[in-house]
Chains A and B, each alone.
Chain A
């Protein structure tokens, strides 16, 4: 049975994401792995988090995994169900501590593209989702964590379209553009966790997944990846307790944490 098998990469990723969430914080979540991670965090080290959804649902009674950000499970018996403008307004006013963003591309400054691949919005190679709430959260929330797969195409030197500003051109350029909050604080890929060097705001390896050498991370990045001083630490491994909770109490049907066959 699944409960005896070692953790798969998605389960490990969910665990790593969950560790970014501090107890007693307000967390904005979208569908997919970040939602799994937030629920795992709530059932392990962060029982007192408040989860906020784009639908306006806030602090729902946990049940099955929501199937969409508008799913009734995102506002199940919530005390509060806000309109969309008010929900993002909470981020602006400093009531949301962290949000997670997905990306099709992310560059060395943590700028995110979810719009299109190609160099012309009106005639792209492929049109993607566009912003949704991605830009709003990136512009307004105190801390952002970016989550996605890593290939040279997904980590290019320059994104094809800046959907959401991370650290823009580095230094103080995010603040100068008028944006608030700290911007992206971490990028999480299956290979490891990256942060941003404090002065230049360029992406830097923080820890690597056990078994992943720096060269793998380097070769799947389209720009020069900064390294910390000394030996690069390993990312924490999922504990047997967390894996058990993930498989029995968070995503028992493996909707989000089964590897595609």
Chain B
């Protein structure tokens, strides 16, 4: 018998019969047990990306996205999961479009959705096609804030939180984990949504800098990552640069947060680890690459596979990817753009030519 009592209406609406597939995400006991086994001492945890993905990502794991939108997403780690032929992951998206291309390769087979799409770059027609083709099964629907509270509950050390989000909506009828309950301290009717603490199996968090023990410094939007770092059963830290521990210590005047080394299982030095996304302080995202992906490749299965074969399966690592984006020229422009966006440099022009099939720029700014 399952240890959890899921929302029955949602199970029915989502056609989920065997609920064991849902258990891991809310299994506090196994998360705590995994956390208790992690090394406590400051040991050098540096390994290569290939080794980290091979060792820490298991078929069927619940994989939570990190970063947000196109910012600080560990795209290059996801690409490596595809190259290694990982299977049947459950993807929690922020947005799910950061992993929906993994469905086509069988790397992701299940999704916990909060947002699917690439904002102004377009809707995710590939996800829609995979869903209709039965290649991905929805396990739960959320709002962004609902996922944020589930992870925050874990970080705060609470079995769950009560919220006013999602009440009365059809999201409640399509999420097995969330229940509407009466606020126990109120006399008048006061429905609240109980959101359980969430414990993904694996997360990759890409930081600007980290030390070899896994202390990881994040600058720019943290979004859910301070919570995700402590919740995830397994945590891979990837970083643009490896720095000495002393440079991460309190009082250096930097703005940002540090994820403590005790959460980290592995540390990977991975320059350009968030490409083709935005890495604050390092590079702006590749708008044209996303336009090509969403508008040219997205609507057509053959083109989509051709596109991801070319950019992911037939590239070896992030350096080859950056070469294809435009190499040193791309790096210089992407660096200049993120610095101008973060600071008040009005002398940099952000305008660019949108990608169209007839206007493939060759360099994807």
Contact = CB atoms under 8 A, between A and B. Distances in A.
Nearest to A178: B191
Interface stretch (A37-45, A53-61, A201-209, A220-228): A53-61
A132 B143 contact: yes
Interface bin, chain A? 35 or more
A83 interface: yes
A163 B145 CA distance: 13
Interface in B216-240: 220-224, 226-227
A76 interface: yes
Interface stretch (A18-26, A118-126, A143-151, A230-238): A118-126
B287 interface: yes
Contact of A56 (B137, B145, B171, B223): B223
B116 interface: yes
Contacts of A71: 69, 71, 278, 341
A130 interface: yes
Given A84-B224, A92-B164, A163-B170, A70 B71 contact: yes
Interface in B140-164: 141-146, 148-149, 151-152, 164
A174 B119 CA distance: 29
A253 to B, nearest CB: 5
Contacts of B115: 129-132
A242 interface: no
A85 interface: yes
A140 B164 contact: yes
Interface stretch (B19-27, B124-132, B203-211): B124-132
A249 to B, nearest CB: 12
A135 B68 contact: no
B345 to A, nearest CB: 8
Interface in A65-122: 67-73, 75-77, 81, 83-85, 88, 92, 115, 121-122
A85 B149 contact: yes
Contacts of A129: 95, 115-117, 123-124
A122 B14 contact: yes
B143 A75 contact: no
Nearest to B111: A130
Interface string A134-160: 111001100000000000000000000
Contacts of B171: 131, 135, 163
A162 interface: yes
B306 interface: no
Interface of B: 13-15, 67-71, 95-96, 113-117, 119-120, 123-124, 127-128, 131-132, 137-138, 141-146, 148-149, 151-152, 164-171, 174, 180, 189-193, 220-224, 226-227, 255, 278, 280, 284-285, 287, 338, 341-344, 346, 350-351
Interface of A: 31-32, 54-57, 61, 63-64, 67-73, 75-77, 81, 83-85, 88, 92, 115, 121-124, 126-136, 139-140, 161-165, 168, 173-174, 176-180, 253
26 contacts: A56-B222, A63-B344, A68-B120, A68-B285, A70-B67, A72-B278, A73-B341, A75-B342, A77-B343, A77-B344, A84-B148, A84-B223, A85-B151, A88-B144, A115-B141, A115-B170, A122-B13, A129-B123, A131-B144, A132-B95, A135-B166, A139-B143, A139-B169, A164-B169, A165-B168, A179-B168
